[in-house]
Chains A and B, each alone.
Chain A
């Protein structure tokens, strides 16, 4: 997974939030999302969009009706009262900030405590990965192929990565002191 540093988010909430302004077709949802996120987001296929919408409908969070005079089975979707309450709660709730789990750190502590790996080498390999990720992200910022939303998201990821790299320096310093 090359983009763990970006937050992961399910499409359900995104669709519901977009529908809170009124009703819409699946195709309109797809267009709005792609306008905002550009090529940062892998292209959504219609199958994924309609299966997400039908699950939301099954759970009573959206409702739909067929578009009149449309023979391709197109439907228009809107939020139910329950869906609206749920999405309002979702919007209001702040997103957890502290990152108290870190896969690298767990791996690092366990592997070095049982002598599975050289701690300095593990840190250097992780630094390779973070630097490369930073390069990937910065290439996105400097390319002009996306809008301001995607740019902000990438800038945020860059700041997180810089912090991750500083943290590696800190781990290295503390470990060095311990073994010295």
Chain B
């Protein structure tokens, strides 16, 4: 079966000649449909560059990106924009909600851009907001919402089109630990319903929820680990002390 997303020998160099800096060097990565993959690594390791290349927001200096069996790194800007709108969802560290629109309108936007009718878009947006537990904030402006609530709206926006893949760049990076836990719970639930996820994160808790954790250093993938299903946890009480 074809992988959902495949990067082959992906490199990205900024600048030229002596001043050239390799932000990404010869990265191979395959993501199967339904997988939850986390990318970890220190700031500047190339996580965001990798995500941008996979999302078609930047072009590789070398290598290829394949989405569902079709090469996409050479598509025109128009075709890439269309592909992003229809097949990808995005979650960012600082939510990136449009401040002049309500929560519901933010969620409707990608639906309208993908060609859905206004009434259907409105219905879908309300349903997705309800799924994520913030139906009551549908008419609120982003500035009236807490960080955790804004990220829920952003996640609703990312999921609204039922994208093939949701890409996230530090989705819990600006949240306190309670809100981060809630957003992680929602990401986990989306994954349980079959949503494919690729998240760049510093948050070990997010990484530990993934099926696979890719570690990057200096623009290269240095390790890929597959996590096992969770093991039972028990308290090591000493039941029979001497």
Contact = CB atoms under 8 A, between A and B. Distances in A.
Interface of A: 1-4, 6, 8-12, 14, 37, 40-42, 44, 48, 51-52, 55, 124, 128, 130-132, 134-142, 153-154, 158, 161-162, 165, 169
Given A134-B204, A162-B204, A48 B236 contact: no
Contacts of A42: 234-235, 237, 239
B237 A132 contact: no
B24 interface: no
A138 B241 contact: no
Contacts of A161: 204
A93 B89 CA distance: 53
Given A12-B241, A124-B223, A142-B185, A135 B236 contact: no
B233 A154 contact: yes
Contacts of B237: 8-11, 14, 41-42
Contacts of B227: 131-132, 135
With a 10 A CB-CB cut-off, give which of B188, B223, B225, B240 has the most chain A CB atoms.
B240
B228 interface: yes
A138 B177 CA distance: 13
B42 interface: yes
Contacts of A141: 181
B30 to A, nearest CB: 20
Contact of B233 (A14, A55, A140, A162): A140
Interface stretch (B94-102, B131-139, B207-215): B207-215
A10 B232 contact: no
Given A2-B231, A52-B240, A138-B184, 12 more contacts: A8-B236, A8-B238, A11-B240, A41-B235, A42-B234, A51-B240, A132-B228, A135-B227, A135-B228, A135-B230, A138-B208, A140-B233
Nearest to A163: B204
B118 interface: no
Interface of B: 42, 181, 184-185, 188, 204-205, 207-209, 213, 215, 223, 225, 227-228, 230-242
List the 7 closest pairs (A to B, CB-CB), nearest first: A139-B230, A134-B208, A10-B241, A135-B208, A48-B239, A8-B236, A136-B230
Contacts of A131: 204, 207-208, 213, 225, 227
Contacts of B205: 134, 138, 158, 162
Contacts, number: 93
Nearest to A128: B225
A136 B239 contact: no
Contacts of A3: 233-236
B235 A6 contact: yes
Contact of A10 (B184, B215, B238): B238
A10 B239 CA distance: 7
Contacts of B207: 131
B177 to A, nearest CB: 8
B236 A1 contact: yes
Contacts of A6: 233, 235-236
B203 to A, nearest CB: 8
A163 to B, nearest CB: 10
Nearest to A13: B241
A1 B235 CA distance: 11
Contact of B235 (A52, A153, A162): A153
